[in-house]
Each structure stands twice: as C-alpha cells, then as structure tokens.
Amino acid sequence: MTRSEIIPQLKKYFKIKELVCPHTFKRHADKSWMFLDTEALHTLLVLRCDILQVPLICNDYSAELTQRGLRCNLCELIKDKTDRDELSLTAHSNGKGWDLTSPEMTAEEMRKKIEEKQDLLPYPVRIELKVNWLHIDCYDMGNSQKITYFNP
C-alpha cells in the first residue's frame, strides 16, 4: 500500500492528535502526518483492521497519556534522556513506534493475537514484553523474523 492509501484509511480510526505528541500537534496540526513513518502507519492499519480488529488507543489527552506515539525533543520522556547526555533514537522519536491499549483486550492478549497472525504483518516489528500496554515498532532488527521481542 502507498502512503496516500494508508492515511485516509487510518483516519477512520485515529485522529492525528492521537498519534503525535501535543507539541507536534500544536505546531503542525493535520500536517503532523508527515513525521510518521509509512511502514509504521501501514503496520498500525493492519493491526487495527486485520489482526486485532478492536479499537486501539494511542494518546488519550483526557487520561494524560500524550507521549505514546511520536515524541519530539520537548517531550519529557525524550528530555529526560537527553538531559543525561544520552542519544535518543527511539522508535517513538523517529515516528516508527506506538504504545497502544484497547478497551477490549489486554496487552498480553494483543501480543498473543499478533504472534498468531504474524504473517499478516506487512513489515518486521519489535514488541516489548512485560508491560501493560502494547509497544510495537518497525525497527527491523535484520534477523529475518517477523517479530522480535524485547524487555524494557
């Protein structure tokens, strides 16, 4: 799928405000789509429509969850790392990762379903274990596996 096909479909399920941090949205509004990686967007669409088939929540401003999609250098989770002189090349800061929850499935149920249907994934992904949300990103670890698991 092309980017111009993916974004209109994703807009049925997500507002851009849900996928980027407040700093990015405030400055760029609907143009914020440009900062999100095409492979990550395609993966998010496949997760929502074909694999999990349940509502997914990324950023939820009412619950003060605002750094679960794209994170910019003004976001606390990024600033905390750079304040310690660490290089921050996270999937979130590169528009390639999501932290997701669903009102209909636990994170563990989502991870299990993704593993069962991994052949539907359009790209290799990394999935974080031992957290109560689904972190999924499109960093290709070059190991020929569809899913690479990692611990926080």
Q: For 83-102, b where at least 16 C-beta lie within 10 A, e where not — what string? A: eeeeebeebbbbbbbbbbbb
Distance CA 6, CA 135 (A): 20
HSE of 85, CA atoms in CB hemisphere, 13 A: 0
Q: What is the mean pLDDT of residues 39-68?
A: 95
pTM for the predicted model, two decimal places: 0.91
Q: Cα angle at 117 between 115 and 118, to 5 degrees?
A: 65
- Mean residue pLDDT of the chain comes to 92
pLDDT at 104 over 70: yes
Q: What is the mean pLDDT of residues 93-104?
A: 96
Domains in the chain, CATH or no CATH each: 3-150 (3.30.1380.10)
